[in-house]
Amino acid sequence: MDLESNLKNLRARVKKASEHLGRDPESIDILPVTKHKPPQVIETLQAHGFRRFGENYIQEIQTKAGLLPHAEWVATGHLQTNKALLATRLCSTILSLDSLRLAKSLDRESQSLMKNLIVWIQVDLWEQEPLKGCRRSEVPLLLDFIARAPYLRFGGLMVLPPIGEDKAFRDSDRYRRDMEQTSQTKIPLSMGMSEDFESAIRHGSDQIRIGSALLGPR
């Protein structure tokens, strides 16, 4: 794996996609997703200025955290409520908050640890099977709960659109803009992975979650 070459190519593609709409490429947050990658790869990414790393499994974060004390961990995969304490202890950010039950668990654990925790609401606007996030009807309830939770901080919206459906990116951006108009606040959108991040950027994504395009096949 030629990580330096991959990173140079990735940044060039992000720049081109951003400039298509006159966006600043530096405004696009690249989140490396490092699941199943060894600690040495993360150390190399740290040397290139990355400090936050996405992982799907809390157990894998637990293993790597002991070896990489300066890394900041982002939980990107579905999180079971029985992992809430460990996730709160290890992570700075939960990108996949998908239920009020999980929100209550994270609230309880963040209070017990007296630790601020950034939470992104994962919403499935298309009600896929199986559901990849909460339904849109649940989002206002989650926003209200987060606003009242002393240690939870709302980060934005995360989506996993159906593969190959460009319209889904437009749906996501439109939904985000409607929410911004209602709340009168800017809401970041995490959308796009290795296979489709350029289209996601052109449709307003603020954060892209990149695995294979940067780190090669798993």
pLDDT for the residue numbered 180: 97
Cα separations in angstroms, 155 against 13, 57, 97: 25, 20, 11
pLDDT for the residue numbered 1: 64
pLDDT for the residue numbered 164: 77
Q: Are 85 and 121 in contact (CB under 8 A)?
A: no
Q: What is the pLDDT along the chain (218 residues), one digit of tens a residue?
A: 699 999 999 999 999 999 988 999 999 999 999 999 999 999 999 999 999 999 999 999 999 999 999 999 999 999 999 999 999 999 999 999 999 999 999 999 999 999 999 999 999 999 999 999 999 999 999 999 999 999 999 999 999 999 878 899 999 999 999 999 999 999 999 999 999 999 999 999 999 999 999 999 87
Q: Are 192 and 208 in contact (CB under 8 A)?
A: yes
Cα separations in angstroms, 119 against 63, 85, 172, 174, 180: 22, 14, 18, 21, 17
Question: What is the DSSP code string of 9-65?
Answer: HHHHHHHHHHHTTT--GGGSEEEEB-TT--HHHHHHHHHTT--EEEES-HHHHHHHH
Cα separations in angstroms, 100 against 13, 83, 96, 110, 139: 37, 15, 12, 15, 9
What is the distance between the alpha carbons of residues 176 and 187, in angstroms, rounded to a whole number?
7
Angle at 187 between CA 164 and CA 17, to 5 degrees: 45
Taking the whole predicted model, whether its pTM rises above 0.85 is answered as yes
What is the distance between the alpha carbons of residues 16 and 155, in angstroms, rounded to a whole number?
26
pLDDT for the residue numbered 163: 81
Architecture of domain 31-155: Alpha-Beta Barrel (3.20)
pLDDT for the residue numbered 20: 81
Q: Are 34 and 215 in contact (CB under 8 A)?
A: yes
Half-sphere exposure of 84 (CA within 13 A, CB side): 21
Q: Where are the domains of the chain?
A: 31-155
Element (H, E) at 97: strand 93-97
